[in-house]
Amino acid sequence: MDGGTSIRLLSRLGKLVRGAQESLGRIGNKGGTVGKAARNKAARSTPTARRTPARPPAGRAPWGWIGLAVALAATVAAVVLWRTGQPGDTSHPVALTHVHGLGINPADGTLYVATHDGLYQIPADGQARLVGSGRQDTMGFTIAGPNQFLASGHPAPGQGGPPHLGLIESGDGGVTWTTRSLAGTADFHALRFGHDTVYGYNSTTGQLITSTDKVNWQTRASLSLRDFDLSPTDPQTLLATTQTGLQRSTDGGTTWVSAGGPPILLLAWETADRLWGVTNFGDVLRSADGGSSWTPSGKLSGQVAAFAAHDGTLYASVHERGILRSTDHGSAWTTVYA
């Protein structure tokens, strides 16, 4: 429901309430001068373009009017809350399903979770809260800066529009989203932002593409990958996890060669000397040389669906365990959300 409809409903509600008040005035004053003055005042403040509803006969309690006014008030209040939803508006715990991505907002350090049912944040109390009112299937997700998010995926059920969102962007921490490009043609299952460039893996074409303005795109390569990340210091160096093992590119993603090493599933390239990887078996590995060698750092029990690193802290979404956090490089994990 748009803002204009909400305003019209509120105006209608005001008229119904005034009608109920007038009827009550007639009952309390037996049609005397007080009730008449109230009616005259209401008549002066009511637009003449619309006729007010017929009033119930004096002496009869207008319970129908009162009930209708109360019901309409509740409906309008619900609509306004849905329309203007803000982070943390949910008043009860929610269950996160099909987690696709994790990220930390540098504006306030809050953890955000991209899911099949919208974008959520998990504050210090551990209760997941829907951000805004969007319920889109947020497949690809990355945080490009303070309150600046990039995402992709599919519209919410009943939302309409093309089946693929293309690249969408939020400048207010995920409360509202704007389509930037490729709506209907791109479904990014992996997104990264670095060196003033958006890198996205379009699952509909199997291509890695890049953009410096979020509108015009350049195809870098065609390959089948699960995850990828880019060097925080060198825009030409990328790593990708594939079914045939870890792949490396030193020309911005145009060509790829085997990087060797263990069977890594997910990547998080935090700093030049802190590249993190999680294997298919839940092993947490660290590389200080950009993926040339790896050192065991910890262990995760269960199927890991999403992985992120921020300021030395690791985050992981594990199937049937929830969202976990480690502050000791993966040796020990605590539950952030279960």
- Residues 46-83 pLDDT 10s: 343 333 344 444 444 444 433 433 333 333 333 322 23
Which pLDDT value is given to residue 125? Answer: 86
Band (24; pLDDT cuts 50, 70, 90)? very low
Query: Is residue 301's pLDDT more than 60?
Result: yes
User: Contact 283/262 with Cβ under 8 angstroms?
Assistant: yes
Distance CA 296, CA 100 (A): 25
Tell me the whole-structure pTM to 2 decimals: 0.74
Q: Which of 315, 276, 317 is nearest to 297 (CA)?
A: 276
User: Contact 278/300 with Cβ under 8 angstroms?
Assistant: yes
Band (44; pLDDT cuts 50, 70, 90)? very low
Q: Which residue has the higher pLDDT, 184 or 42?
A: 184
Which pLDDT value is given to residue 93? Answer: 58
Query: Is residue 204's pLDDT more than 80?
Result: yes
Query: Is residue 21's pLDDT more than 90?
Result: no
Q: Which stretches within the chain are classed as H helix?
A: 3-29, 33-45, 63-83
Distance CA 205, CA 87 (A): 34
Tokens of 281: 């078996």
Query: Is residue 168's pLDDT more than 80?
Result: yes
Q: Is the dihedral of CA 241, 243, 248, 249 positive or negative?
A: negative
Which pLDDT value is given to residue 133? Answer: 87
* Beta partners for residue 181, in sequence order: 167
- Long-range pairs for 210-219 at CB < 8 Å and ≥24 separation? 210/252, 210/253, 211/167, 211/181, 214/150, 214/167, 214/169, 214/180, 214/181, 215/180, 215/181, 216/181, 217/181, 217/182
Query: Is residue 258's pLDDT more than 80?
Result: yes
| 179 alpha-carbon distance from chain centroid | 14
Please state, for a pLDDT cut of 70, what percent of the chain lies above it. Answer: 72
Which pLDDT value is given to residue 56? Answer: 42
Which pLDDT value is given to residue 103? Answer: 98
Other CB atoms within 10 A of residue 258 CB: 11
**In sequence order, which residues have a C-beta less than 8 Å from that of residue 125 and are 6 or more positions away?**
none
Q: Which residue has the tokens 């490729």?
A: 182
Band (87; pLDDT cuts 50, 70, 90)? very low
Q: Is the dihedral of CA 78, 81, 84, 89 positive or negative?
A: negative
Query: Is residue 131's pLDDT more than 50?
Result: yes
Section 263-274 average pLDDT:
97
Domain positions in the chain are: 3-83, 99-337
CATH 3.30.465.10 describes domain 99-337: no
Which pLDDT value is given to residue 124? Answer: 85
- The helix (run of H) or strand (run of E) holding residue 151 is strand 148-154
Query: Is residue 8's pLDDT more than 70?
Result: no
Please give the backbone phi and psi of residue 140, each rounded to the nearest 5 degrees, phi first: -85, 140
Query: Is residue 38's pLDDT more than 80?
Result: no
